[in-house]
Structure 1
């Protein structure tokens, strides 16, 4: 990671109280040895979240969101330390105003960190809200002492701007951290930075899988459909495990590998636009949602004395030749092609010798 600029400011706000911007803070020396590690910790903490929402600036109302113009001005300038401080100061002003809105009365303050950095081939702006936590340290006499430290692992709110994607004109270049709280309090970060068109990662993942099935069905790819879905889900799972976002161009390439020869000219390169249409609204880039992936790929059920957990692709009706066949009339499941070790385990259990 190459850290270009860093600004740290502080917002004072208690629940139901007005927000006050502290005079403390400002630009931070990026050459200090601990500073890059701090930003990397924040970036990793955001990557671990599965409740990210993705979207873009609200360009229809730029006057209502001053940060949008300030962001564009910053990118068009020298991007000096003073330029970044100007951008950050405007950002924190907008945050304070958003936190003071009636719907965000429960929001509380903390340290606001603005970081401009390069990571591999992408350039980012990260804005994070963190707070102190109590910890125990030992003094010179080895006596326990309570100290306050910044909790970098627990982000309260965060926004990440993919500057590289923005410059390339991609549809999705903003990521925001969601919460389990209800109400507009969860949206003050996105509102402050002019992003109102956001899609939860859970919805994006589910809509993409739905679009995958529908595209195959509408284009007569019946024989290829389940394999395409499996490959797309595998891609999403891999991106999620590697803490990377998923993007439609790469998924489109997966599709193109499965298109029958007679349909190559007709539908090659068209899935991205199909999934990004008004019906599905899958962003060009989004964070895969783990639980949604599991829900679409696995079947879990249990009764009083048993439970099952298997991949949905293994299930079929009687006579389908699937590893697991369902007989609706008899209300039974038949397991086929069981591994020899499972067969032996069942035999030992029936014989009363199941100690191992």
Structure 2
């Protein structure tokens, strides 16, 4: 999974109406195994979440993200500048949302197969314990990807090459379908365009037709269907 560009910024924000404070990084993260592991773990956690799908709103003052992303992809601004514009916009939206909390914001442009993606995630830490080289138990702080609640993934290739698509953006939905992540969706400028359950039913119907055409054994078909649903 080649990582083309990655950067992390920090927004300090409490859900009490106090102003958000931005700590912006001024250089990309260098290539490392740690970054690759982080993105792999992030994708694993993200793929297991309940998601909604959509596409970019028309670019405007309220939804400037797609314009900044387009400028970056065209070479009119570098990745650091693009991420800085975006995170400053997110900071403003956080200040308007009393329920929002801060965290580390990861921007990662990577390639999987022949497809380019942009992942954006709000990451939080958890406090734990570890055993050090002296065999002593010590406090340990780590990114808690199991508690990933605000993240989005943009299929850049589909956005650029399929103008009719309405499902090149995915983002994590709030538990129970609650719109607790509205400000994050608005930050991306995403308009929901595809109903995930409906998409799943369509996929299962296509798979069922495939099973029938292949005359697959019942037990094998059931196992593959369960794998697909999971």
Which TM-score band applies after superposition, normalised by the shorter structure? 0.7 to 0.9
Distance, in Å, in 1 between the alignment partners of 2:67 and 2:73 is 10
Give the superposition deviation at 1:122: 0.6
Higher-Rg structure is: 1
SS of the counterpart of 1:88?
A: helix
Distance, in Å, in 2 between the alignment partners of 1:233 and 1:92 is 46
Distance, in Å, in 1 between the alignment partners of 2:74 and 2:225 is 32
- Of residues 85-94 and 183-192 in structure 1, the stretch that sits farther from structure 2 once superposed is 183-192
Distance, in Å, in 1 between the alignment partners of 2:82 and 2:28 is 15
Which of 94, 99, 103 in structure 2 is aligned with 1:99?
Answer: 94
Distance, in Å, in 2 between the alignment partners of 1:154 and 1:203 is 26
| 1:55–1:230 Cα change, 3 Å | same
Instruction: Indicate conservation of the 8 Å contact 1:99/1:105, yes or no.
Output: yes
Instruction: Indicate conservation of the 8 Å contact 2:10/2:102, yes or no.
Output: yes
Distance, in Å, in 1 between the alignment partners of 2:211 and 2:74 is 39
Aligned equivalent of 2:23: 23
Which of 81, 85, 94 in structure 2 is aligned with 1:86?
Answer: 81
Give the superposition deviation at 1:232: 7.1
Residue 187 (structure 2) pairs with residue 192 (structure 1): yes
Distance, in Å, in 1 between the alignment partners of 2:89 and 2:83 is 10
SS of the counterpart of 1:142?
A: coil
Instruction: Indicate conservation of the 8 Å contact 1:30/1:36, yes or no.
Output: no
Count of residues paired in the alignment:
219
- With the length of structure 1 as denominator, give the TM-score of the two structures: 0.55
Aligned equivalent of 1:9: 9
Residue 173 (structure 2) pairs with residue 178 (structure 1): yes
| 1:36–1:27 Cα change, 3 Å | farther
Distance, in Å, in 2 between the alignment partners of 1:100 and 1:181 is 25
C-alpha distance after superposition, 1:97-153 (max 9, x if no partner): 22222xx32121111000001111110000011100011112343221112111133
Distance, in Å, in 2 between the alignment partners of 1:95 and 1:233 is 46
Aligned equivalent of 2:53: 54
| 1:203–1:11 Cα change, 3 Å | farther
Distance, in Å, in 2 between the alignment partners of 1:92 and 1:240 is 39
Aligned equivalent of 2:37: 37
Aligned equivalent of 2:158: 165
Aligned equivalent of 1:149: 142
SS of the counterpart of 1:91?
A: helix
Give the superposition deviation at 1:172: 2.0
Q: Which structure has the higher relative contact order (CA within 8 Å, separation 6+)? A: 2
Unaligned ranges ≥5, structure 2: 213-220
Distance, in Å, in 1 between the alignment partners of 2:7 and 2:78 is 11
Give the superposition deviation at 1:22: 2.9
**What does 1:182-261 correspond to in 2, within 5 Å?**
183-206=178-201, 208=202, 230-231=208-209, 241=227
Aligned equivalent of 2:217: none
C-alpha distance after superposition, 1:69-101 (max 9, x if no partner): 1111111117xxx71111111211222222222
- Of residues 113-122 and 178-187 in structure 1, the stretch that sits farther from structure 2 once superposed is 178-187
